[in-house]
Amino acid sequence: MDHLKNSFEKELKNKLAQKTQGAQSEESVLKKAFKYFDLNDNGTVEPDEFAKAIEKIGIQIPTKKDLNALFSLYDADGSGSIDYNEFSGILFQKGSGSRPATASLAGADPEQLAEALKTKLASRGGRGIIGLARQFKIMDDDNSKALNKAEFTKAMSDFALGFNNQQIGTLFDYFDVDHSGEIDYNEFIRAIRGPMTQGRK
């Protein structure tokens, strides 16, 4: 499911980037497409309207099954409609509440977030990576040398790097290359140390 969501969001962002002109933001292009199909102007879209808005941006959702799967991912409260302001907030990773120090990374893709993580760790010198590795070991209760999403999120939050939970989730998905739901933290540390582009398409 995560794979479907990630590839959909990546393609959607690419299409929005192509459609953005001048001072328009990608977010305003997205909202305009939704508003166009929000016939009763209540700020939400149902599955069919969602599909039409996405098609207007240039993405065909192949089957009804894919549409329903995607829709339910974003319909967090199961109401049968998506608040498109919330949807664009998710897409551009705007955490609610206080703006984190990494607010400038609001719409950052995983690669940018990973680079930001490297930069933040490097700015702490030798303590950066070693300290994070130590934090991971503390969180690894069952000594499996791997962290699930909750453990990873807690370790990253405790290490106070300034990422919000959504950005930490994006980083987790980025480093969970085999989609096992866990990150081998030695591999993670190696990836952070080495060039980001290595072995990545």
Question: What digits encode the pLDDT tens for the residues 13-27?
Answer: 898 888 887 767 888
For 44, list phi and psi in degrees, rounded to 5: -130, 160
How are beta strands 82-83 and 44-45 bridged, if at all? antiparallel
Q: Give the model's pLDDT for residue 194.
A: 66
At which of 91, 119, 134 does a domain end?
A: 91
Residue 163 lies in a domain: yes
Q: Give the model's pLDDT for residue 162.
A: 76
Express each pLDDT in 120-150 by its tens digit. 777 766 667 788 888 888 888 778 889 888 8
Q: Give the model's pLDDT for residue 142.
A: 79
For residue 87, the enclosing domain spans 2-91
Q: Give the model's pLDDT for residue 126.
A: 65
Could you tell me if 123 and 154 lie in one domain? yes
User: Which parts of 20-92 are beta strand (E)?
Assistant: 44-45, 82-83
Could you tell me if 63 and 128 lie in one domain? no
Counting as low any pLDDT under 70, the low residues of the chain are 1, 23, 76, 94-108, 124-127, 194-201
Residue 45, strand partner residues: 82
Cα separation of 99 and 65, whole Å? 36
Q: Give the model's pLDDT for residue 174.
A: 87
Q: Give the model's pLDDT for residue 100.
A: 38
Cα separation of 182 and 151, whole Å? 9
CATH number at residue 41: 1.10.238.10
Contact assessment for residue 161 and residue 117, using Cβ atoms and an 8 Å cutoff: yes
- What is 6-19 written as a DSSP string? HHHHHHHHHHHHHH
Q: Give the model's pLDDT for residue 95.
A: 45
Q: How many domains does the chain have?
A: 2
